[in-house]
Every structure is written in C-alpha cells, then in structure tokens.
Amino acid sequence: MHSANDVVHSRSLKCEENAMARKLKLVEGTPDYEQHRDLLCRRWLAGACNIIRRRVQMATQIRQAISAGLTHEEAQLSVETTVSELERLQQVLQKVRADAESLQIELPIHTLVTQAHLDPIDQDILMLSLAPHIDVEIRDAIARFNDNLLANYVDVRLCLEFLSTDPIERLALRKRFSVGGNLLASRMVNLTRTRDASGDNLLGYEVNPAPRVMQLLLGELGLLDSAMEDMAKFERPAVTLDKVILSHDLLKPMLSLLTTFSEREALASNSPFALPRGLVMEISGPPGTGKSLLVRALANHIDTPLLELNADRLHEMSDDGFRRALQSGVDQARLGGAMLVLDKVDALLAKQSSRVGEVQVAMQRHSGVVMLVSHDSSALDSNLDRFVVQRLMLPTPNVEQREQLMRLHLPEGVTFARGCKVKELAGIYSFPGALIRNAMQVAVNRAFADTPTKPQITHDMLRKACHEQIRASLDEYAVRKQVHLSLKDLVLPQDTMEDIEELFTAAKFRAHVLHNWGFQQKMSTGKGLVALFSGEPGTGKTLCCTILANELDLQLFQISIPRVVSKWIGETEKNIEKIFETARANHGMLLFDEADSLFAKRTKVESSVDRYSNMATNMLLQEIENFEGIVVLTTNIEKNMDDAFKRRIQFKVHFPFPEPEMRAQIWKTLVPSSCPLEQDIDWPEVGKRYELSGGHIKNAVLRAAYQAAAENEAMNDKHIEYAARQECKNAGRVFRSTTGTDLF
C-alpha cells in the first residue's frame, strides 16, 4: 500500500512530467533552461530520497522479521510488497534521467560520479548520508531502524547494515570510510565522532555530506560555500574571444592546450609517461592589460564556468583558514566542473613564500584547469615552474590594438566626429585596455552632454579624456614644471628661435607622421624626439623647455639628478628604468637639466666604480633609444657629452649669451605692465652696461622691485642700477659705470 504522502508526491511528479513533455528544445544559459534544470534536480533528489526511505523501512522490516524467529529467506519474502514499491520508484527515477538526457541536461549526481569516480556503493553511502537532511521522515525511519528515538542520524554502523547483511562483506565495506576511500578523499562526506561513541570505534562516527554536495544536488549553480562569499566568485562568462584584443600568435599556444585538454585521457593512454591530472596555466601583465577579460573569454571558449578566488584575501588568512579556503575552492571548482582562477597571486606566491608548497600540492591534486593571474611573473617563486605548463605575458597594446580598443568601446549610436584622429591619439597615449575603456567612457558621456540627439566624439574630447587617465607619478625623481608663457615670450636670436620652431613643429606632428603616415612600422627604435639645449647658465634653456611642454600640452618633468644617481650598486639603473617606464604611462616630457654626470663620456674600465658608472650610461642610452616621447638634455659644456648620446640627438639648439640689444629686450619684457615704472628708463643703456644672462636679469628685476616697494616709489633708474650691480657682483660679471669705466 502507498501512503497518502507517496500518492500526492507521485501525482505531483506526474504533472511535472507532462509539463516537461510539452517543452521544446532548450538553450543552455537561458531562463527556460535553468528552470527545467532546477525542476529535474528537485525531481531526482526527491525520488532518490524516497528510495532511501523505502530501503531503510525495508531493512527495519527484515530485522524485525528475523528477530521474530523467521529465517533470512523468509524475512526477504515478507517484504515483497516493499520490493515492488522500490522497483516502481526506480522507474520514476529512471524517467527523470531520461527526461534530462532528452533535454541534454546533466544531472548533478552524474557530475559527482564523474568527478569523484563514485561506484554504486559510494553513491548509496552518499545518498544515505544526505537523505536525512532533505526528508525529515527519513530520520524517523532511521530511529525506528535503530529502535532508539535519539539515534536518528547516519553513522558508519548504519551504513554497513544498510548496504549488506553479510558480516564478511561488511568488513570489506569498512574501507569505504578510510582516508583513501573516494568519498573521504574527495571530501564529499566527513566523519564526526558522536558524543555517545565508545572509544575510537569507527562504527560510532556520524557520516555527514559536505554542504556543497547538498547544494549541488539541489541544483544550485553558484558559489557552493557561503563562508567564501567575500573571497570567491562563481560565474559562467559570456564574453567571447573576439572581444579580446591580442595577437593570435601570443594566444595560440594557450588556446591549443585548453581545447585539447578534454582529450588528455586519450593522450595519456598513448604516452609512456604519466601526465598530470590537471592543467595549470598563468596569465601575467601590468594592471589594466585585460587579464581578467582574457580569462573569462577562455572559459567561455571551452564552455566552462569559472570559480575565481581572491589570492590577496587567501594570503591574509591564518594558516588553518587558508588551508580550508583553498581546499574548499578546489572542491567547488571540481564539483562545478569549473576553471579555478587564482587572481592577484603576486603576494601569495611570491619568492620564498611559505605557502607556495601548499598551493602546489592543491593544484597537482586538482583534475581540472587552474589559471594563475599575476602582475609580474618574474616576481613569483621559481618552484611554480615545476607545475605551471604554460605562461602568457600580456604586453601593453600596440598602436593598432589601442585604436581597435577605442573603436570597440564605441557604443551603438555614437560616432567619431570628422577630424577626430583616433589612430594618432592611440599612438600618443600608450595605455592598457582598462584606461582606454575609462577614457572612452568619459568621452562618450561628454559627447552625449554636448549633443544628446546625435552624440559625436571630437578630437579634443577624446584627447582630454585620454589625458585625464594619466595615473603615474615621477614626483620621487622629478619636479613638475609649468608656466603660463608662450614661445612669443622668448627673447632669443633669430637663428636660435628658428631651431626651436623646428623642434616644436616636429613634436607637434610627430604622432601624425608616425602613425598616420606609417613611419611607425619602418622604425624599430628612435621613434621619440631627443633635443640638446646647450649654453651658459641662465640663457633660457630650462624656460624654453617648459614653454615647449606648455605649448604641446604635455607634463614636463625636470629630473633631479641627485635623486637618480645612487651610491648603491645597481640602484641608478633601476631609477633610470623607472623614470622612463613612468614617463611612458604619464605621457610626459623629460628634461634632464645640467645632467653632465649622466651623459659624460664613458671611461676606460680600470675599477668596479668605472664599470658600474658605464652601466648607468648604457642603460640611459637604451632607454632614450626606446622612448617614444620627448627628451630634452641641457648642458653647459657640450664637449663633455658621450659620443653615443650625440648620435641620438636629432635637434641641437644653442642658447648664446645675450648681446646688449637682447639684454635690453629681456629687461623690458620681464617688468609686468602692472608694475609702477618711471617712463624715462633707458633700457638699451641698461642692457649695454650690465652683462647679465636672462636668469640673472630676472633676479635683478625682482631685486629692484623689492627696493621700489620698500621705498613706496615707482621703479626707477636708481633701483635698477642698484639691483643690476648687486647681481653682477654675485655672478662675477663686468658692468660699466655711468662714466664708462668697467667695474666688478
């Protein structure tokens, strides 16, 4: 006879089966697919628990019959009705499997069986341990079997009696609960000693399913361990490889390994060596180069979900917490058939890290794909080389890829305006993908704000949006320079101004020539501009460089040589490398002001000091050769410069000591229009009498203004003569008295 509960349950399943039969083919990932998968999981789990309940009831009936004096054969005959009911329930369960197969839906139990290599006996133990947590009536059935209302849980003794009535077979079944057994080795069940267990008897240990197993069988596809919500993320990525801007030659080796990984068992059978169970790979690159996007695209390409663990969080945990979290992540990835991604492993797997070994063991035991994601592969522990089979280092995108990324991030309905030189800006701003995405987002928002009905991104919009993404800083080695002057404010001889105008023109159209005219493809190095400004101190070299940067809308970084040169071996080279690396990211213009110590001629190696000094010079030569921006070198004595530097200089500008006419113009130009000034000052005479450079004239003008302000008078000849004489004395320069006599 069937209980009322069984009848209701049977009718419910029948209604669901009829509804299922009316459905058409489903597409994985759609809401309809997920709805049917959830329904099938619940039907299977309910049916499986119903079978367990009936089997426990049947075992109870047989035990009671034997206790009443019946033989084993007679006891078996007494439960024929229950046997028939079990056969009917097995048919219901088989119908669920058939429905799932017809809809091409894999039931979670099949995933567990495959991942942990569970045979039918293992499956019985797993379901027996799980059933009381799903169906409360099974606890009552277990209590009746044990003839103890408090003993309503599953322990090893119950499992053995449930699986066999033969004592010899029960002894053999004890191995199922050893550490080497499939269920414990895969951590699908765990054993807990009960309070009333005597001694260390295995029979008294309670058998409980892992929570993630229960959630998986219930049909949940997300994160299976709620304790890891703050450090793990489970997802089925939708991004495709065509959204990843990367050279096919770089991607091909890793893609080939991933796509053939499913065939590894066939490959292993034909190999004389044992192949690893899993596949461990690494993707590295600077921030924003698209590592996360690539990982998701690869997972989608091989039709695999991914479980991402934040390795920074793992690194911060205690030893016990770290081990539990790592193992839980591996288990969840295995149960969900997911790619396990360890993101930001730089600290966790750094050189000499004490946790490298534990991670290595976990990865080697995992039978799926593991992807390590780092910023700098060279900073990781060398022991990783033994089990990381493929590495992919993502470079900063080249010009063509940066242009492609800009166009990829252009939303539908938004266009680039005529005159927006996308390729030129892609060449100027050497950004990773993340900063390009940010710049495009800013530009798109401004385009909508400007013309909501027909948004267009202008050249100026995109240039400003890119400029605002600059993050790097050279404050450690340089001083930022900025003025509000233009080239018209320079007072220089005509030939010097012509050289400066030529340099300005080259800098202004450099990106256009390189990227739009194709010169970029013809040159492997030397794509930047290198200029040498020579002349005495105070002749305007630094001011001119600052004005050029202002006119070109570039940040100028005046490199502080004492901060670069270090007494420690190798530190100077590191500082030089960092300066140029940061300048590339910062779209900056570099000024090495009076850096004769860095550009001096290399010496014959007679000591270790000479050798390391030459190494710094060689490093600077290489960086300048590969730098695609603008570098200005200033020197007071050009003949001291190394010949190798001279060969790399495209523009040489000499700043001569100003002649009297130039000096007079400088005096007059430096006095602001708002300064009270007597009109009878003879500027040509002032320029003739005082042999001062522009820098010293600037000091003298300020000194004269201070004196005039103190006396509450307009600036006049007296103030200027006093200030000029003091500046000449300080500079060791000749000046002439009103009588024409040369004085010091």
In the structure encoding, which two tokens stand for residue 217, read together?
Answer: 């069988």
Q: Are 709 and 696 contained in the same domain?
A: yes
**CATH number of the domain residue 645 falls in:** 3.40.50.300
Contact 695, 740 (CB under 8 A): no
Q: Which structural domain range is residue 76 located in?
A: 25-218
The residue with tokens 């597409």 is 27
Question: Of 630, 655, 680, which residue constitutes the final position of a domain?
Answer: 655
The alpha-helical segments, DSSP class H, found in 398-540 are 399-408, 422-428, 433-450, 459-467, 494-511
Residue 448 lies in a domain: yes
Per-residue exposure over 534-550, b if at least 16 CB sit within 10 Å of its own CB, e if not: bbeebbbbbbbbbbbbb
Q: What is the pLDDT of residue 708?
A: 93
> In terms of domains, do 596 and 701 share one?
no
Query: Running DSSP on this structure, what letter comes out for residue 487?
Result: G
Residue 24: Cβ within 10 Å count? 6
Strand partners, 306: 235, 339
Q: Are 549 and 589 in contact (CB under 8 A)?
A: yes
Q: Does one domain contain both 194 and 331?
A: no
Quick one: which of 402, 162, 445 has its CA closest to 290? 402
pLDDT of residue 737: 54
Q: Do residues 589 and 543 both lie within one domain?
A: yes
pLDDT digits (tens, 9 = 90+) for 628-662: 889 998 887 767 677 777 778 889 999 999 999 99
Are 462 and 568 found together in one domain? no
Q: Which of 655, 688, 715 is the last residue of a domain?
A: 655
Three-state SS for 599?
Answer: helix
Instruction: For residue range 23-55, list pLDDT tens digits in order.
Output: 445 556 667 878 888 899 899 999 999 999 999
Same structural domain, 633 and 505: yes
What the block records as the tokens of 622 is 């290489």
pLDDT of residue 124: 93
Helices marked H in 527-679 — which ranges?
A: 541-551, 561-564, 571-586, 596-599, 608-626, 643-648, 660-670
Question: How far apart are alpha carbons 104 and 553 in whole angstroms?
Answer: 60
The tokens describing 77, both together, are: 């005959």
d(CA 737, CA 744): 10
Shared domain check, 664 and 651: no
Whether this prediction's pTM lies above 0.75 is answered by no
User: For residues 599 and 592, is the Cβ–Cβ distance under 8 A?
Assistant: yes
User: Over the stretch 232-250, which tens digit does the pLDDT of each residue have?
Assistant: 888 889 899 988 888 888 8
The last residue of a domain, from among 469, 496, 518: 469
Q: Are 542 and 694 in contact (CB under 8 A)?
A: no
Q: Residue 427: which CATH number?
A: 1.10.8.60
CA dihedral sign, ordered 227, 229, 233, 235:
positive
The count of domains in the chain is 5
- Which parts of the chain register pLDDT below 50? 1-11, 13-15, 17-24, 265-266, 268-269, 602, 605, 607-610, 739-744
Would you state the pLDDT for residue 373?
95
DSSP letter assigned to residue 366 = -
